[in-house]
A and B are shown apart, each in its own frame.
Chain A
């Protein structure tokens, strides 16, 4: 599975060879290494490890060989005595099988949870301020008031964590108490999962979940095959085959005691690798990943399986792999941090001003301080004169500074972090709920796996896309074949229901393949005629090869009609499935597969073929082969593989014409965008077979260097082949892909396609997906050396800078692009993996980047997984632009994690890409609503919210600051401490969150109609330094108005502190909420409720606070609200404070409108005349009718 996924796009063909069968450990080693290479990236080593992106798969291959050669040292091994848990656990104390995913117990909850919460810097700042406030000299707020906000946030988070943990505990309990039958005293008895120990023998029945990682001993199948479904582990729903060793197969644990020792690796998280030796009856056996079944998998299609537990509980691979989603930080937040630093400096400046003024004041009044009625330094209470609460003016200044930090603490908007998280949760909720991003075919909703980069979706400049499974459906369909030099591709003309497909009758029951394939009538005729003609015999061999040379497992499935059964081909490679279905349609139906033989129904006649050996696909050979023993005792080897790999091993002396025509056909197939495979065959002589057989046996049981030995064996047998033919498989384009790419390109997003396919296939898919157009000039770079690479890059750069010249061609290029000349011709850059080997990680990277800047399309073919990540990092390192990678397979994992935003397609290829991604969805075309609509909204909302929150807190702090200047710099606050605390919690918190979640500057329609509007995010229009400073100037003005109007109006009057404090509180809250209201783009009832509700809530809160007789300001609000002056002040403040903002906003919107603004106006005033056109366009992208 791993190899296929990791190298799937490496060369288009390879995927056809990968398979689940692990009979020979030959391939398994390479697969394990494939898995390793992904894992390396997966676990975040990219930053620290010098990974060479340019390298081919060869590196990992050699690595895997060395892996297999490595003997397991005793120190690195775990020794498991089969069926002797007591002795096994005596020395090592392996962990039991009970699992604990819960983080806390009742005792550890409080300390651990607090510890985890305080990992956030913001909370530590909060805490420091609260602690400072506890010092009696610095106590600005009452102790309760200063602790309250922190306590509240901590409590909410703690309750949330506790609830989540409770759910985990509950599921743990259910899991731990499940029952499994375990061999105790030579009898299988029910035992709870948590009591299972390493070394015990466990019997699993069909459809049961496997309780721990176990080495298979025997199964109900006489050949020792067991099928498992790994959906819980990696999300792949197809069945995988696992094998018990021949030596243990016949033992029945109840009767004859199995005694043995398994020496295996220490527990690790590589689910695709396993290394062990088993000693049974004095024989050394080696075990690989195909001999182990893992916790969480389900046994399918097998009546029972017996195994010995080797890893249990938290040491199982499933548990070791259960790690959370990767965390990324949003670009906006990174930018925001700079502004936070500005604000901190500003805070320090305010505090410094206050302390300096206080110092001056103290110095000037130093002679009077003792008796100053409002200072009274002297205290006489104990009879003797002493200084009361005075520590010398140096220290007093220090205290003043710290106190002002406490008073002005909300200058740093701590609440912003909490609001941002809430807003992101809300945005994620809407993204998940969007019906237009729901994929009906896979029944999957949009998934938000990373919660903190929502707004990055609105700033994407580069999209890196995988091809197979992302642009295309990865549902392979057999289209045409070239057999013995004859092209059969006429199948499309014939309708499917002509014959109702091919079927066989067995015991009166009809058996037919689950999927129907269009057939070519002529070819069908040949297939039916068997070996009567020469063509017939070639066709026979060809289809036999397709049916036999694979690792597909046929499954018989019942249908509602009892007389009809369907045969379902389970396999990991969609290409192989397509080929087997095709073979079945032509009358070569694979019925049964066991480890020793296969049964193929050929034109209604069942034939059994012995399978002597199978050399699985590996990325080095790029082919696979099977050695079949025919009923007539002849032995043939069938090979299928990539064209290059097969043509290098065919017998060139024969059939030159056939080879040439096949090559021509291959070229035309790949130009049509088909994936091609070549099939070859050779008959083995008895001596040849015997020689092969002995070396194969020796190699597959070798303990050291098994992989390389098996490869050698395979290379020896796979030569001098006759060519049989080639097949063309269509990988259909997903719905709406061309429109989606068009939209993204209009939006100013550069789309790069990175694929493992052949160049011709890639280009043709490029045309069909409208990535490439005939207007484009193509630059093609296929170089075989560093020097030629450099030269072609330089030529290309020169060419790309002179758009009018004819397109220069380098390497093996051919100019298919039109040279229209006029204006700037868009340029498409096409290059292959071999060139990338020379470019990545060398000084040529810079050149490539320059070149790609001038290109509107970049298409990379034959790219290895790590090269994909390399290309992403090439762009990411050199620009500040946001990158997004989208892919569906394990080969895209490295790219997904490298990019700023990783999107996984939950498609055919398992869930590894989804697991590594930040967002997951069902179809490529959902990228359009995701970026253009949700991304735009999220960015605009978040950008505004951050600015607003800065403003909101700064206004309040500045009002406090102004007042301090009139209290002889002693940090008295007229606004009650409760209002200060509630300000960012109740008074102003909700509106910004509601607006941050719900406000929309433009409707979905407009955004989709004018993808160009997306550039607002790319150009950082909603949050930038200029806006920050403008906001800060506005803040300054507003705070001054809010403070000085009451000050001047009440100067020299009887006003008391509490009353004017209430006036300031209300003025600031109303001001801040109206400021928000002024910027709201869309008023729905929730916005109304939040904004007006907050103002009302503030009034209520202020009244409640003033109704408490033990507070200083008792009844103040009611007294002051009786006066007309109060209301006049309030009105004057609000109007005078907002006028400048209103004027600037109006001028800007009317005379320097941004695109968003014009679109908003158009939306409002011109909806009627254009709505029809929008409808059509929308449909084409979003509501492509289902087929």
Chain B
């Protein structure tokens, strides 16, 4: 509407200077291409040529794109190891919950992974949780982004229940999201030589700089009746707690990975990697799966063939459609804009009047 109004006034204003002097009191609408709806315009029409060209072009673009992404995905080397089942000692296998909830039991567990192909550095370490609804409504709402940023907003915990405050005061960081912080840890070694895991720069830069305050320190965290996960070092400001940042970027889907760290050395093919896992995190209560993932990366991200295949299918379909339309055009052409095709020209008898 605004567009209209503006154009109107300008059109009227422009026209009035020339016309008003010649003819006063005439209410004749001022002619302008706009008011007469005769603005210069392009009138696209779906001609067979245009349709065929569109499909061909899409096909030509999509198939290579699909191949490129497929090959990028193929290049990614990925090791996935599910450890939640096997890291429970056999005597607890019927009551895993008891195992995980008992703090006195040693939770370490050693896994050996074989590198299938050369993995160029950096190799990213992820943990993958399945059937974990980090996007559950109660969960995603239970946080206070204000509190994370500055000390002065420490008390704004109204959305954080049931983890909002303790008798000693507000919990920082409050809410279910922080409370349920993942607390399994992994130690890697190849041939009993420890591999350094770089846990810096695993969170977004923007989170470190703006979202998590450098003067906000954890307070009363995990001190309630129920421990949900990892504890935080209360002398390290939140802006340095990158695990927390990663965790608090809640996952969009119930199966998700989160970055644990990076290995900044190449892993050779057929190397055996020893992983010492501290299996602390309780996914047994809701039969969630835990997986450790080592993966290289490419421009397309992790290993996922879907998009490449999708592109090839769409591209192929378009080429097929192009061929179909060409055939149709050859077999049954219709002259465009031929008045003899108009309904009243085709059947003069059906003329209502």
Contact = CB atoms under 8 A, between A and B. Distances in A.
A968 interface: yes
Contacts of A115: none
A447 to B, nearest CB: 11
B173 to A, nearest CB: 13
B200 to A, nearest CB: 17
A434 B34 CA distance: 10
B304 A1161 contact: no
A1086 interface: yes
A1047 B165 CA distance: 36
Contacts of B48: 1150
Nearest to B307: A1049
Interface in A949-989: 966-968, 970-972, 974
Contacts of B341: 1153, 1158
Interface in B274-322: 282, 285-286, 299-302, 304, 306-307, 310-311, 314, 317-318, 321
B306 A432 contact: no
Contact of A375 (B27, B139, B337): B139
Contacts of B321: 1139, 1143
A1050 B132 contact: no
A1118 B204 CA distance: 11
A1164 interface: yes
A1111 B352 CA distance: 64
Contact of B65 (A990, A1114, A1128): A1128
B285 A368 contact: yes
Among A993, A1109, A1149: residue with most chain B CB under 10 A: A1109
A599 interface: no
A1112 interface: yes
A383 interface: yes
A378 B226 contact: yes
A96 interface: no
A1084 interface: yes
Contacts of A971: 137
9 closest residue pairs by CB, A with B: A1161-B337, A1162-B337, A379-B162, A1115-B206, A970-B137, A374-B139, A373-B180, A433-B35, A380-B225
Contact of B31 (A376, A435, A1155): A435
B353 A746 contact: yes
Contacts of B180: 373-374
B164 to A, nearest CB: 6
A968 B149 contact: no
A1060 B134 CA distance: 14
A1052 B39 contact: no
Interface string B207-246: 1001100000000000011101100000000000000000
A1160 B43 contact: yes
A1012 B126 contact: no
A1060 B250 CA distance: 11
A745 B351 CA distance: 11
Contacts of B253: 966, 1047, 1050-1052, 1055, 1060
A1123 interface: yes
A184 to B, nearest CB: 40
Contacts of A378: 162, 226
18 contacts: A368-B285, A372-B285, A373-B176, A373-B179, A380-B162, A388-B161, A434-B36, A443-B26, A745-B353, A994-B3, A1045-B307, A1051-B253, A1053-B257, A1083-B42, A1114-B206, A1119-B206, A1135-B62, A1162-B339
A108 interface: no
Interface in A887-943: 937
Contacts of A1049: 304, 306-307, 310
A1089 interface: yes
A972 B206 contact: no
A1132 B313 CA distance: 11
Interface stretch (A288-296, A421-429, A804-812): A421-429
A134 interface: no
Given A429-B4, A1165-B337, A1000 B37 contact: yes
Contact of B135 (A380, A823, A972, A1050): A972
Among A444, A745, A1048, A1145: residue with most chain B CB under 10 A: A1048
> Contact size class for A?
35 or more
B132 A374 contact: yes
A163 interface: no
A1049 B310 CA distance: 10
Given A1135-B314, A1149-B46, A1061 B176 contact: no
A569 interface: no
Interface in B26-67: 26-31, 35-37, 39-46, 48, 51, 54, 58, 62, 65
A1163 B210 CA distance: 59
A902 to B, nearest CB: 22
A1109 B210 contact: yes
Nearest to B40: A1084
Interface string B60-93: 0010010001000000000000000000000000
A1149 B352 CA distance: 25
A968 B336 contact: no
B307 A426 contact: no
Contact of A1057 (B4, B26, B140, B228): B140
Contacts of A1153: 334, 341
B37 to A, nearest CB: 6
B193 interface: no
A1151 B328 contact: yes
Interface string B5-26: 0011000000000000000011
A851 to B, nearest CB: 16
Given A967-B135, A1054-B126, A1132-B307, A443 B204 contact: no
Contacts of A1004: 37
A1061 B132 CA distance: 19
B8 A429 contact: yes
Given A372-B286, A422-B1, A970-B136, A1142 B54 contact: yes
A826 B353 contact: yes
B250 to A, nearest CB: 5
